[in-house]
Amino acid sequence: MTNDTAAQSEALAPIMTARGVDVFYGKKQAIKKVSLDIPENQITALIGPSGCGKSTFLRCFNRMNDTIESCRVTGDIQFAGQDIYDQKVDVVALRSRIGMVFQKANPFPKSIFDNVAYGPRIHSLSESKEHLEDIVITSLRRAGLYDEVSDRLNEPGTSLSGGQQQRLCIARAIAVDPQIILMDEPCSALDPIATAIIENLMDSMKEKYTIVIVTHSMQQAARVSQQTAFFHLGELVESGDTETIFTNPAQERTQNYISGRIG
C-alpha cells in the first residue's frame, strides 16, 4: 500500500514544465502566457476548439516551431530541469528525447524496416546489424504492429493502411527510445476501429513513456488521458485531473465546451 502511494507520487512528478509561454506568428500572438506541468508516465490531453493554439503549444515541447520562420517562442519550458530554449541546448538531441507523431501519418517512402531503423541509425543507437533488427522488432511490437507486418518488413511503409501507417509512425518514434511522445491529433484521419487500437496502445505505452496528445475528440481525451488541459483562443483556460475537468469543471468556458456550446 505504501509502495503504491510512493509510486504514484513519483509518477506525478512533472517531467516537463511550461511557465508563461507566449508564441507569436509574426505579429499575431497564438499562445498567451500558458503555464502547464506534464506529469511523468501519464497521458496529458490538450483539448479545445480549432485554432485555439493547442497544436502550437504542443510543438513548443520539441521545438518543432523552430522550423516555422515567422514563429517566436518566449517564456520558460523545462525538460528534466533544463530550459529547452537555452542557446546551449542542441535541438537534435532534444528531439531524440521527445518524439512526435503527427496528425497525418507520414511514413518515409522507404521500407517498413527502414522507417523504424532511420532514427536509431542517425543517432547511432545500434552496435550491430542484429542489434538494429532487435530495436526495430521491439519497437514494432510495442506499437502493436509487428504481428501484422512481420512477413513484409521490406515492403514500403506507404503500402500499409492508414491506421497501420500511424502505428508505424509510433514505432518509428519509439525506436529512438524517447522519454516523451507528443501526439498531434494522431487519430483524426482514422476510422473508429483503428482509433480504438491506437488508444489501447497509448494506454499500454504510458508505463514506459510520457504522452502528450492533442485531440479534437473530447471522448478520446476522456478515454485515454489522466490529465486534461483546455485551451481557448490561445489561453489555457483550465487544466487538471481528467475526471474533474469532464465532470466538474471550474470554469464556465470549459463547461460550455465540453457540453458542446462553444467550439
Partner 1 sequence: MPDYLLTTSPQMAKRHKRHTRFQWYGRIAIAVSISFMLLMFVAIFTRGAGAFQKTMIGVDVEFAESVIDPQGTRAEMTLKQGNYKPLILAGLQEVIPGATDRRARNDLYKLVSGGAAFDLGERVAAKPNMIGTTQRVWIAASSEVDLYIKGKIDGDSDEAVRRLKDQDIAWINQLKNEGRVKKKFNRVFFTSGDSRAPEMAGILSAALGSFFSLLVCFLIAFPLGILTAVYLEEYARKTRLTNLIEVNINNLAAVPSIVFGLLGLAVFLNFFNLPRSTPLVGGMVLALMTLPTIIIASRSILRSIPQSTRDAAMGLGASKTQTTFHHVVPLAMPGMLTGTILGMARALGETAPLLMIGMVAFIVDVPKGITDVATSLPVQIFLWADSPEKGFVELTSAAIMVLLVFLVLMNLFAVYLRRRLERRW
Binding site for partner 1 (CB under 8 A): 62, 64, 67, 69, 92-96, 99-102, 104, 106-110, 118-119, 122-123, 156, 158, 169, 172-173, 176
Q: Which is nearer to partner 1, 111 or 254 (CB)?
A: 111
- The Cα–Cα gap between 89 and 83 comes to 8
Continuous segment of H or E residues that includes residue 18? strand 14-25
> What minimum distance in Å lies between the beta carbon of 42 and partner 1?
21
- What's the farthest any 2 CA atoms get from each other in the chain? 57
Pairwise CA distance, residues 28 & 25, whole Å: 5
Least distance CB 87 / partner 1 (angstroms): 17
Least distance to partner 1 from the beta carbon of 108, Å?
A: 6
Q: How far is the CB of 69 from partner 1 (least distance, A)?
A: 6
Q: Minimum distance between the CB of residue 64 and partner 1, rounded to whole angstroms?
A: 7
CB of 80 or CB of 92, closer to partner 1 = 92
Contact between residue 21 and residue 74 where contact means Cβ atoms under 8 Å apart: yes
CA distances from 230 to 29, 35, 47, 212 (A): 18, 12, 5, 13
Residue type, 68: I
CA distance 141 to 50: 34
Query: Whose grid coordinates read 489555457?
Result: 236
